[in-house]
Amino acid sequence: MPDAGGMTAKELGRVVEGRGAWIAASVSVVLLSISYGSPLLIVIGLKSIAADLETQRQVVSLAAALTWVGTGLGGIFMGWLADRIGVRRIVMFGSTMIAAGLAVSASGNIWALYLGHGVLLGFLGNGAMFPPLLVYVSRWFDRRRGTALALISSGQYISGMLWPSVFEHAMARWGWQATMIAYGIFAVLAIPPIAAIFLHPAPEPSHESGMAAGRRPGDAVLGLPPNLVLGILAFAGFCCCVPMALPQSHLVAFCTDVGVPAATSAVILSVMQACAFCSRQFWGWLADRVGGLITLICGSACQALAIGAFLLTQSEVGLFTVSAIYGLGFSGIVPAYVLVVRELYPSSEASWRVPTVLFVSMGGMAFGSWFAGALYDHFGYYAPAFTVGVAFNIVNLMLIGFLLARRGFSGGGMRPAIA
């Protein structure tokens, strides 16, 4: 049957694991590498924004936190809406909201910063990008779903490689307000044409794989009520994203506090994101072979060790090294949560279960970003924040370990290995 553009499903390559699947994944990477540049503006400009607004870092960090909360909460609504009007329109709308959010935030008022980042940039902007695109691409893949999810989630790390140095130079020359407005214009000019041309409807699901095969809505999951398992998984995501937020939101400020120049600090952030991008492909490969839960516990353990290592170094070489190790370790965590949901629940429930887990997880990113700023303002240094991060990571390991134990008790693996 022809689609809205007059092309047949065959012409669009709309088959699982086919050419159209990899086009959808590749285009999603490009779109997220643009959209996820927007939250980095406040990370790079944290100290200068706080100074210009004559406020504390925790006040500005709250705007970054609201971005994560808004993105997660908006993803639930936008994921539902994307199933009804199509992901293409949702993404195009999201790009205009990102531009509007940055314009409002640049007005130079703290409440405008909250409105611009929480509602426009987060709820209506990136909320229309990240969660809907994850669900969209997951429906194009079956056996290589973990690899595909790792690939498109890497858009966040491509942003981290590309934009920090650009933003730091732009802010040094023109200021943070002009840089925000310029990037908003770029996003609204770049994203809609790409979405309009390449985001075709995903194929209809023909079957489920792994533990979701044959499962009907309401059936027990891992021998427990399905919503209880979802709640445990979501809270585990919260606990692992609290420490995950610390380097991503405060690394530049932390490095400059210990004497590293601002330009070098931005490069350290880029190195961390570059390592995350490279290793995420490994984590995706691993997830396709051992399943999402084992990938989660391995990635979380690596993250806990790296967060602890930030407590032990303040030299420039040490910070480069620890940031690189941290990037290698934590990068497989977020796509693994999406993979676990797709493995445990029917595809028909993905449009709300995936964004729900992401919402709670992003709440952890928000809390971690704000709380690290609050602890810094109280103590005058970041060591207490990293200590709290390690504690949250340990709770995450306990929760994922419990789900792994339930998987063993309920019998059966998550999915067959790929030869």
Across all residues in the chain, what is the average pLDDT? 83
DSSP 8-class letter at 221: B
Would you say the pTM of this structure is higher than 0.75? Answer: no
> Who wins on pLDDT, 193 or 222?
193
Cα separation, 175 vs 396, whole angstroms: 39
Place of tokens 């893949």: 141
Q: What is the pLDDT of residues 287-316, one digit of tens each?
A: 888 888 998 899 899 889 888 888 888 788
Q: 23 falls in which pLDDT band (50, 70, 90)?
A: confident
Of the candidates 66, 48, 164, 170, which has an alpha carbon nearest to the alpha carbon of residue 124?
A: 66
12, part of any domain: no
Please tell me whether residue 224 adopts helix, strand or coil conformation: strand
Predicted pLDDT of residue 334: 79
96, part of any domain: yes
Contacts of 93 (CB under 8 A, 6+ apart): 124, 128
108, part of any domain: yes
Cβ atoms 16, 191 nearer than 8 A: no
pLDDT at 414 over 50: no
DSSP 8-class letter at 312: G
The CATH number for 28's domain is 1.20.1250.20
Cα separation, 241 vs 365, whole angstroms: 5
- For 253-290, letters b (16+ CB in 10 Å) and e give bbbbbeebebebbbbbbbbbbbbbbbbbeebbbbbbeb
42, part of any domain: yes
DSSP 8-class letter at 381: S
Given phi > 0 = left and psi -120 to 50 = alpha, else beta, which region is 175? Answer: left
**224, β-bridge pairs:** 221
DSSP 8-class letter at 117: I
Cβ atoms 146, 20 nearer than 8 A: no
pLDDT at 31 over 90: yes
Q: What is the pLDDT of residues 111-131, one digit of tens each?
A: 999 999 999 999 999 999 988
8, part of any domain: no
Predicted pLDDT of residue 54: 82
Average pLDDT of span 266-288: 82
Other Cβ atoms less than 10 A from the Cβ of 378: the count is: 10
Cβ atoms 121, 38 nearer than 8 A: yes
> Who wins on pLDDT, 65 or 193?
193
Predicted pLDDT of residue 326: 87
3, part of any domain: no
> How many structural domains is the chain composed of?
1
pLDDT at 4 over 80: no
Average pLDDT of span 324-340: 83
Q: What is the pLDDT of residues 170-214, one digit of tens each?
A: 998 999 999 999 999 999 999 999 999 988 887 765 555 555 555
Please tell me whether residue 410 adopts helix, strand or coil conformation: helix
Q: Where are the alpha helices (DSSP H) in 345-412?
A: 350-379, 383-410
Cα separation, 350 vs 356, whole angstroms: 10
Q: Which two tokens stand for residue 404?
A: 């792994």
pLDDT at 7 over 60: no
pLDDT at 226 over 70: yes
Q: 101 falls in which pLDDT band (50, 70, 90)?
A: very high
Cβ atoms 98, 183 nearer than 8 A: no
Instruction: Using CB atoms within 10 Å of the CB of residue 221, give its burial: 0 to 12 exposed, 13 to 18 middle, 19+ buried.
Output: buried
Largest interatomic CA distance in the chain: 64
**Which range among 134-138, 218-222, 354-358, 389-393 has the greatest average pLDDT?**
389-393
Q: Which domain holds residue 150?
A: 19-410
347, part of any domain: yes
DSSP 8-class letter at 118: I
5, part of any domain: no
**Which range among 226-235, 247-256, 280-289 has the greatest average pLDDT?**
226-235
Place of tokens 């007005």: 107
Place of tokens 């689609």: 3
